[in-house]
């Protein structure tokens, strides 16, 4: 019988139970810092330096979800995400250089400059299988991936990321139905950041909550504080194990908030100022840093070292990207069909 | 309107043998057309009702323009209806209609036909199309090469087989133009006299290197000294007589007729004249005559005697006012009193421009030329 | 040679490829227990089990999306969309996702799957269950579109499509499922991208698609009696299109007709016509003509439907008009 559970905060005592060693916690923080600094750099390259062009959807404020889930998964698990995918790409270990070059449209990017910001999370080498720009369309694909893994009796599982807006699309319904019906090994990670572009969830979702909607499909459902990386991690870890062992899917609604607007140019003025301020206080990186400091699991010095090294990594990535060349035009014909 | 002979540009409708609405049979004469040189009966190219007559009696119609319609509109495909006429009435295929041109200059031919026509040097305007709406197709081009009759001719007159076609260029063209001009402006009068050639023949036996043309030149030049009204040119309405006597000699070359000038012929000996004629002939054959050679003539001598010509009336070489033609030297019957005997003689023909010279002065001049020729030793 | 129905030939192809490659999975509505609405998948559930022959809910987007996902996971799905009319429901997965994944990923992704579908024009199924719309898909770079016209090609082309490393839309002709034809016993495939000259001729080229191939062959016989020698070319695949074969034929015959079951406006004939005009203009003796359906939805009434569909007589008339008879 499927249940909806509210995932509670993880107490320090339980860290080791969930495999959260100090080393891993440091890695988690560093990864979150990488995501944050990457997105800040992208914002600067767009709005201040004018070096980047096109749509770009920043992951600022949602770092706990991508990082929490990816650390809970095994490295070779397969993920399908969306156009708000810079965070998922970096969290799934797509090299920072290649991501930056892809955003610059260079042939040295992981998609040879043919995909861009909305498809930067495509890097099968590390299991980041796909990123779609069509809202909701990743879910049926995730069903297929899960089915394929189950068919091959693989030890791998699939996880797909989508927003609150996707929950109203036909593809969501068809995909979720199939995943639940066939009990496929898929984690359905809904990043409910309360707004689909400028449309708040209350004005879009008819169900009392997204979790209840998911639960009505017969899915094991969890609701978790999407700004608390350890909660996300624990929720995802449990779901992953169940998927792997029993081929049972789980729907995890992560409640979070975008620090900025929908796309890099969007100021998000449609959101009430107090709401924004309240959520900024719950900045996932700030709160995690403070907790770790309080729990004496990290020093200020170590934090500063991390900040510096991640910043350097970003700067190096920009240099790499700017040096790259654009794909010669006639080459585009080579990428339409596979030969073998 | 068919092209009934090669030079025909237009034809005049003389008579319609059938009237509108009559049924005509293929091959049946239906009208009479007058071309540039003759009148022809035109036969119906197809059977059917003579639906419409487009040009009435007395009208002049350009070749290839329509003069009548046989049959239902839209089915006409024959040359009495010009293939160049745009055919809006043809049946449309189920696809979008093909391009119909309303310009009467456009030949409707398929892309394949145009390519083949270009490759094979076939003139599209000479064909009738067998495709829908009279479209010329590649089959028509391929068939055109194999047929011996051209599609345009429908009367009984056939074109003669062509050996070669040459455009008038260069010297030929210039000569043609000059002669046309002469024919149009000059008022020529021809007078002939027979000269006794006994002494001439005797002298030629002794001096075989001196040609008859040279003798003729000298004879004329000497006479011109006494008749300077004949040594003249006319430009617009001004006549110029000259103290120089420059006699031009007509020389035939491969490229055409040239008339290089022997300057001051009256002052040269016969031998000198003969040598110069040879020299000029050689130069002419090699195409090395200069402007100087070809200008400044005041009188021309031309000799066709070597070709058995008795006499001829040459065309005056404008702007000169007279020309002397020499015929053959041969034994001719001659009367002395009432006795006929054979004597060597030659006919001299002078053509002079009556605008400039009158008959009597011309006759006096010619008589002197004759006298000079009859006593050639005096010319040496 | 033995004769099989078009449907049985397709089944043989599926079965042989499923035996050859354990990664081949079938999914679709009514393909298992019901044995397939047109019996193409008859007996396959019994032979291969429910994990390889999967009945799905009525979820075209999920069926197509799952096919994409299965391909990403390394398997070889053959999904069935019952009627071509349902393809717009999963158009996103087919045209926006699958077709573009290789390109957008800069060559990192490969999406090998077959989406089988059929069109029921001629079976009185009405406007919403009869459409033939290959033009919508062969316009999408990244998709391949295959249309067999007889049992032997159906088997050979389906085998090639299953082995193809790209997304393939495999369009079957509903009216032809029960038609019979010779099918070789030994293992064979028919390559994608090679048209077949099914009848040689000199006077006119008829390029035909799917069901119209048979109609064009019938038309060609009638034309022979009238002294017209028609060449009939079966495109077999619209993408990749064997344009060279058509050009070679047009150069010899100088006249081209394109016969297909789709609506004329913007149909496959329009593209082929434009391509041939560009490449073989100087060899044409007549405008390129299309034989297709009128620009209206398909009427139900059986008599009206018969008048709506092109057939051998339509092709004969088109040739007559082309030749000015």
- Look up residue A4 and give its two tokens: 């909806």
Buried b (16+ CB within 10 A) or exposed e, B270-283: beebbebbeebbeb
One of C129, C164, C215, C305 is an active-site residue; which one? Answer: C129
C touches which chains (3+ CB pairs under 8 A)? Answer: A, B
Domain CATH for A90: 3.40.50.970
| pLDDT confidence tier of residue B95, bands split at 50, 70 and 90 | very low
Q: State the average pLDDT over residues C103-132.
A: 96
Q: Contact C289/B132, CB-based, under 8 Å?
A: no
Integer-rounded Cα Rg, in Å, for chain A is 19
Between A110, A132, A152, which is nearest C106 by CB? A110
Regarding beta strands A78-82 and A128-132, do their DSSP bridges make them parallel or antiparallel, or are they unpaired?
parallel
Q: What is the pLDDT of residue B77?
A: 43
Confidence (pLDDT) at B96: 41
- Are B187 and B311 within one domain? yes
C97 is a domain residue: yes
How high is the pLDDT of residue B157? 55
Average pLDDT over residues B277-282: 93
- On whether residue C187 sits in a domain, the answer given is no
Instruction: Using the predicted structure, report yes or no on whether residue B29 has a pLDDT greater than 90.
Output: no
Of the residues B60, B123, B278, B358, which is catalytic?
B358
Between CA A39 and CA A57 the distance in angstroms is: 9
* Domain end call among C123, C153, C182: C182
pLDDT in tens, C145-173: 999 999 999 999 999 999 999 999 999 99
Task: Judge whether residue B81 has pLDDT over 50.
Answer: no
Interchain proximity B93–C323, CB inside 8 Å = no
- pLDDT tens digit string along C52-97? 999 999 999 999 999 999 999 999 999 999 999 999 999 999 999 9
Q: Which residues partner with B299 through β-bridges?
A: B247
Cβ distance A112 to C107 less than 8 Å, yes or no, reads yes
B38 and B140 share a domain? yes
Is residue B152, in this structure, part of any structural domain at all? no
Domain identity same for B244 and B333:
yes
Average pLDDT of span B172-184 = 78
**In a 3-state reduction of DSSP, which class is residue C250?**
helix
Pick from C65, C111, C165: which is nearest to A340 by CB?
C165
**For residue B32, is it within any domain?**
yes
- Assigned token pair, C36: 């397939």
As a whole number, mean pLDDT of residues B342-356 equals 94
CA closest to A170 among chain C residues: C61
**Containing domain of residue A58, as a range?**
4-322
The per-residue pLDDT for range A149-162, each reduced to its tens digit, is 999 999 999 999 99
Domain assignment of residue C31, yes or no:
yes
Structural domain includes residue A38: yes
**Is C in contact with A (3 or more beta carbon pairs below 8 Å)?**
yes
Q: Specify whether C168 is located in the same domain as C214.
A: no
Residues of A (209-268) whose Cβ lies below 8 Å from C? none
How many distinct structural domains can be found in chain A? 1
- Measure CB to CB from residue A147 to each of C66, C96, C109 and give the nearest one: C66
What is the distance in angstroms between the Cα of C301 and the nearest Cα belonging to chain A? 34
Domain co-membership, B80 together with B213: no
* In a shared domain, residues C251 and C131: no
The answer on C252 and C167 residing in a single domain is no
A33 bridge partner residues: none
Within-domain flag for C154 = yes
In this structure, are residues B317 and B300 in contact, taking their beta carbons and an 8 Å threshold? yes
Task: Please report how many Cα atoms fall inside a 13 Å half-sphere around the Cα of residue B162, on the Cβ side.
Answer: 7
**One domain, residues B174 and B130:** no
**Between B156 and C216, where is the model more confident?**
C216
For position C100, what pLDDT does the model report?
Answer: 97
Is residue B373 within 8 A of residue B270, CB to CB? The reply is: no
Q: Is residue B331 part of a domain?
A: yes
pLDDT of residue A288: 97
Q: What is the pLDDT of residue B84?
A: 35
Q: What is the percent of chain B with per-residue pLDDT over 90, rounded to a whole number?
A: 38
Q: Which residues of C touch B (CB under 8 A)?
A: 254, 281-291, 317-318, 321-324
Q: pLDDT band for position B34 (50/70/90)?
A: confident
Whole-number Cα distances in Å, A186 to A171, A183, B228, C64: 16, 8, 127, 18
Kindly state the DSSP code that residue A46 receives in the 8-state scheme. Answer: I
What percent of chain A stands above pLDDT 90? 98
Q: Taking 60 as the threshold, does the pLDDT of residue B341 lie above it? A: yes
Q: So what's the pLDDT on residue B72? A: 65
Judge: C73–A109 Cβ closer than 8 Å, yes or no.
Answer: no
DSSP state of C58: S
Shared domain check, C92 and C151: yes
Check if B252 is active-site: no
**Residue B232 is assigned to a structural domain of this protein:** yes
Rounded Cα distance between C194 and C192, Å, is 6
Domain check: are B102 and B189 in the same one?
no
Residue A68: Cβ within 10 Å count = 29
Are B220 and B362 contained in the same domain?
yes
Query: Which residue of C lies nearest to A335 if distances are taken between CA atoms?
Result: C103
Question: So what's the pLDDT on residue B164?
Answer: 84
Residue C189 lies in a domain: no
Q: Do C286 and B114 touch (CB under 8 A)?
A: no
ipTM: 0.91
Closest in A113, A139, A145 to C73, CB measured: A145
Q: Cβ separation of B94 and C288 shorter than 8 Å? A: no
Q: Which domain holds residue B180?
A: 170-379
User: Tell me: the pLDDT tens digits for A304-339?
Assistant: 999 999 999 999 999 999 999 999 999 999 999 999
Residues C88 and C44 in one domain: yes
For C14-60, write each residue's pLDDT tens digit: 999 999 999 999 999 999 999 999 999 999 999 999 999 999 999 99
Determine whether the interchain pair A178/C106 forms a contact, defined as Cβ–Cβ distance below 8 Å: no
Query: Chains A, C: CB contacts under 8 A, how many?
Result: 159
- Closest to B93 (Cβ–Cβ): which among C254, C283, C287? C287
Q: Which residues is B241 bridged to in the sheet?
A: B232
Q: Are residues C214 and C245 in the same domain?
A: yes
Do C234 and C102 have their domain in common? no
Same-domain check for residues C154 and C213: no
pLDDT at A241 over 90: yes
Q: How confident is the model at residue B38 (pLDDT cuts 50, 70, 90)?
A: low
Least confident of A75-89, A267-281, B79-93: B79-93
Q: Which two tokens stand for residue A10?
A: 């993880």
Domain-embedded: residue C10: yes
pLDDT at B169 over 90: no
Question: Which of C282, C291, C324 lies closest to B131 in CB terms?
Answer: C324
Residue A103 within a domain: yes
- Evaluate whether residue B276 is within a structural domain: yes
Contact yes or no for A147 and C102 at CB 8 A: no
Residues A183 and A244: beta-carbon distance below 8 Å: no
B134: left (phi over 0), alpha (psi -120 to 50) or beta: left
Distance of alpha carbon B214 from alpha carbon B278, whole angstroms: 10
The predicted structure's pLDDT at residue B158: 61
What is the arithmetic mean of pLDDT over B141-169? Answer: 66
Q: What percent of chain C has pLDDT over 90?
A: 99
Report the CATH number that the domain containing residue B343 is assigned in CATH: 3.30.559.10
pLDDT band at B147 (very low <50, low <70, confident <90, very high): low
Which pLDDT band, with edges at 50, 70 and 90, does B76 fall under?
very low
Verify that B68 and B102 share a domain, yes or no: yes
Q: Kindly state the DSSP code that residue A17 receives in the 8-state scheme.
A: G
How far apart, in whole angstroms, are the C-alpha atoms of residue C86 and residue C90? 7
Q: Are B116 and B177 found together in one domain?
A: no
User: Is residue C190 assigned to a domain?
Assistant: no
β-sheet bridge partners, residue B261? B248
C8 and C133 within one domain: yes
Same domain, B287 and B232: yes
In a domain? residue C213: yes
Tell me whether residues C66 and A336 touch, CB distance under 8 A.
no
**Chains that contact A by 3+ CB pairs under 8 Å?**
C
| Residue A252, pLDDT score | 98
Domain count, chain B: 2
Indicate if the pLDDT at residue C247 is higher than 90.
Answer: yes
B358 carries an active-site annotation: yes
Question: Of the candidates C182, C210, C241, which is a domain's last residue?
Answer: C182
Q: What is the CATH number of the domain that holds C162?
A: 3.40.50.970
| Shortest alpha-carbon distance between residue B160 and chain C (Å) | 33
For chain C, what is the domain count?
Answer: 2
The pair phi, psi for residue B208, each rounded to 5°, is: -70, -20
Neighbour count for residue C202 (Cβ, 10 Å) = 13
CB contact under 8 A, A111 and C69: no
Query: Looking at residue B85, what is its pLDDT?
Result: 36
Shortest distance between the Cα of A6 and any Cα of chain C, in A, equals: 29
Range of the domain at C104: 3-182
Q: What is the mean pLDDT of residues B131-146?
A: 85
Residues of B with Cβ-Cβ distance to C265 under 8 angstroms: none
Which tokens go with B62?
């350009």
Residues C177 and C205 in one domain: no
pLDDT higher than 90, residue B22: no
B19 and B127 together in one domain? yes
> Which positions in chain C touch A335 (Cβ < 8 Å)?
102-103, 106-107
The answer to the question of residue A112 being in a domain is yes
pLDDT band at B154 (very low <50, low <70, confident <90, very high): very low
In this prediction, residue B4 carries a pLDDT of 65
Contacts of B91 in chain C (CB under 8 A): 321, 324
Q: Give, for A6, the enclosing helix (H) or strand (E).
A: strand A4-6
Q: Could you tell me if residue B2 is inside a domain?
A: no
Among chain A residues, CA nearest to C167: A337
Q: What is the pLDDT of residues C282-319, one digit of tens each?
A: 899 999 999 999 999 999 999 999 999 999 999 999 99
Which of C153, C182, C211 is the last residue in one of the domains? Answer: C182
Within-domain flag for A327:
no
Task: With respect to residue B92, please indicate whether it lies within any of the assigned structural domains.
Answer: no
CATH code, domain with B135: 2.40.50.100
> Which one of C106, C110, C160 makes the best mutation probe of the A interface by having the most chain A beta carbons within 10 Å?
C106
Query: How far apart are the CA of C92 and the nearest CA of chain A, in angstroms?
Result: 8
Interface residues of chain B, partner chain C, Cβ below 8 Å: 91-96, 98, 110-115, 130-133, 135, 137-139
From the list C90, C33, C24, C74, the residue with the least C-alpha distance to C56 is C33
Nearby residues of B25 by Cβ (< 8 Å), 6 or more positions away: B44, B47
Q: Which among C285, C289, C290 has the least Cβ separation from residue B113?
A: C285
Task: Find chain B residues with C-beta within 8 A of C284's C-beta.
Answer: 110-112
How remote is the C-alpha of C12 from its chain's centroid?
Answer: 18
- Give pLDDT, residue A340: 82
Whole-number Å distance between alpha carbons of C200 and C180: 22
B107 and B231 in a common domain: no
List the CATH number of the domain containing C217: 3.40.50.920
């Amino acid at each position: 019988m499927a249940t909806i559970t509210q995932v509670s905060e993880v107490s320090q005592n339980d860290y080791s139970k969930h495999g959260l060693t100090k080393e891993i916690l440091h890695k988690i923080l560093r990864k979150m810092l990488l995501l944050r600094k990457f997105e800040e750099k992208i914002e600067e390259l767009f709005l201040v330096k004018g070096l980047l062009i096109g749509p770009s959807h920043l992951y600022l404020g949602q770092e706990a979800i991508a990082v929490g889930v990816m650390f809970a998964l095994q490295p070779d698990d397969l993920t399908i995400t969306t156009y708000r995918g810079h965070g998922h790409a970096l969290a799934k270990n797509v090299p920072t250089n290649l991501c930056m070059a892809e955003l610059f449209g260079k042939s040295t990017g992981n998609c040879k400059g043919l995909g861009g910001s909305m498809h930067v999370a495509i890097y099968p080498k590390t299991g980041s299988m796909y990123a779609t720009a069509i809202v909701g369309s990743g879910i049926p694909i995730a069903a297929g991936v899960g089915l394929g893994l189950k068919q091959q009796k693989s030890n791998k599982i699939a996880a797909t990321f989508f927003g609150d807006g996707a929950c109203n699309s036909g593809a969501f319904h068809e995909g979720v139905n199939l995943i639940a019906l066939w009990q496929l090994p898929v984690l359905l990670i809904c990043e409910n950041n309360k707004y689909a572009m400028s449309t708040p969830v209350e004005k879009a979702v008819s169900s009392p909550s997204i979790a209840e909607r998911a639960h009505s499909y017969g899915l094991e459902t969890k609701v978790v504080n999407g700004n608390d990386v350890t909660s996300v991690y624990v929720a995802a870890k449990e779901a992953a194990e169940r998927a792997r062992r029993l081929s049972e899917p789980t729907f995890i609604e992560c409640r979070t908030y975008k620090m900025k607007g929908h796309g890099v140019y969007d100021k998000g003025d449609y959101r009430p100022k107090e709401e924004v301020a309240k959520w900024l206080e719950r900045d996932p990186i700030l709160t995690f840093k403070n907790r770790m400091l309080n729990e004496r699991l990290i020093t200020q010095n170590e934090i500063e070292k991390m900040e510096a090294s991640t910043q350097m990594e970003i700067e190096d990535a920009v240099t790499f990207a700017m040096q790259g060349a654009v794909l010669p035009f006639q080459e585009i014909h080579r990428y339409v069909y596979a030969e073998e | 309107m068919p092209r009934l002979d090669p030079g025909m540009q237009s034809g005049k409708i003389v008579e319609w043998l059938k009237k509108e609405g009559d049924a005509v049979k293929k091959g049946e004469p239906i009208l009479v057309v007058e071309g540039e040189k003759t009148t022809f009966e035109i036969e119906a190219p197809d059977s059917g009702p003579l639906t419409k007559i487009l040009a009435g009696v007395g009208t002049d119609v350009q070749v290839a323009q329509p003069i009548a319609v046989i049959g239902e509109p839209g089915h006409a495909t024959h040359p009495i209806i010009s293939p160049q006429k745009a055919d809006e009435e043809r049946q449309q295929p189920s696809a979008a209609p093909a391009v119909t041109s309303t310009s009467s200059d456009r030949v409707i031919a398929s892309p394949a036909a145009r390519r083949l026509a270009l490759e094979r040097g076939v003139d599209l305007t000479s064909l009738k199309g067998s495709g829908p709406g009279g479209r010329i197709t590649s089959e028509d081009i391929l068939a055109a090469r194999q047929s011996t009759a051209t599609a345009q001719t429908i009367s009984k007159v056939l074109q003669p087989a062509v050996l070669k076609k040459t455009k008038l260029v260069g010297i030929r063209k210039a000569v043609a133009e000059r002669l046309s001009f002469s024919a149009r402006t000059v008022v020529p009068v021809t007078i002939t006299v027979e000269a006794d050639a006994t002494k001439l023949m005797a002298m030629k036996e002794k001096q075989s290197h001196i040609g008859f043309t040279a003798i003729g030149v000298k004879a004329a030049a000497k006479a011109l000294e006494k008749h300077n009204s004949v040594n003249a040119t006319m430009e617009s309405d001004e006549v110029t007589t000259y103290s120089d006597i420059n006699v031009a000699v007509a020389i035939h070359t491969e490229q055409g007729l040239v008339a290089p000038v022997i300057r001051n012929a009256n002052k040269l000996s016969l031998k000198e004249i003969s040598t110069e004629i040879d020299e000029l002939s050689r130069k002419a054959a090699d195409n090395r005559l200069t402007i100087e050679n070809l200008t400044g003539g005041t009188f021309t001598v031309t000799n066709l005697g070597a070709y058995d010509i008795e006499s001829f009336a040459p065309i005056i070489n404008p702007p000169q006012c007279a020309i002397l033609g020499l015929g053959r030297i041969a034994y001719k019957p001659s009367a002395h009193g009432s006795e006929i005997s054979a004597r060597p003689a030659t006919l001299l023909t002078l053509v002079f421009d009556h605008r400039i010279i009158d008959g009597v002065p011309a006759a006096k001049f010619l008589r002197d030329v004759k006298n000079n020729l009859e006593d050639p030793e005096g010319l040496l | 040679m033995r004769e099989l129905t078009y449907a049985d030939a397709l089944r043989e192809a599926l079965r042989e490829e499923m035996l050859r490659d354990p990664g081949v999975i079938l999914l679709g509505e009514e393909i298992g227990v019901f044995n397939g609405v047109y019996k193409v998948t008859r007996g396959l559930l019994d032979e291969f089990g429910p994990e390889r022959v999967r009945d799905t809910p009525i979820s075209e987007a999920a069926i197509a999306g799952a096919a994409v996902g299965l391909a990403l996971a390394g398997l070889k799905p053959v999904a069935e969309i019952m009627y071509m009319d349902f393809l717009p429901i999963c158009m996103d997965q087919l045209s926006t996702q699958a077709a573009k994944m290789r390109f957008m990923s800069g060559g990192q992704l490969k999406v090998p799957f077959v989406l089988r579908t059929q069109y029921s024009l001629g079976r009185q199924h009405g406007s919403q269950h009869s459409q033939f719309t290959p033009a919508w898909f062969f316009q999408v770079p990244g998709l391949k579109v295959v249309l067999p016209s007889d049992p032997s090609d159906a088997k050979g082309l389906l085998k090639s499509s299953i082995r193809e490393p790209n997304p393939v839309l495999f369009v079957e002709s509903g009216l032809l499922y029960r038609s019979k034809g010779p099918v070789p016993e030994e293992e064979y495939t028919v390559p994608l991208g090679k048209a077949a000259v099914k009848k040689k001729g000199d006077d006119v080229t008829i390029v035909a698609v799917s069901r119209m191939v048979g109609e064009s062959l019938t038309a060609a016989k009638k034309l022979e009696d009238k002294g017209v020698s028609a060449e009939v070319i079966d495109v077999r695949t619209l993408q990749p299109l064997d344009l060279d074969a058509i050009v070679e034929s047009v150069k010899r015959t100088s006249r081209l007709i394109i016969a297909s079951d789709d609506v004329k406006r913007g149909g496959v004939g329009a593209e082929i016509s434009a391509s041939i005009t560009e490449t073989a203009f100087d060899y044409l003796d007549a405008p390129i003509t299309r034989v297709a359906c009128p620009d209206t939805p398909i009427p139900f009434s059986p008599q009206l439907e018969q008048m709506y569909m092109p057939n051998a007589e339509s092709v004969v008339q088109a040739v007559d008009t082309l030749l000015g008879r």
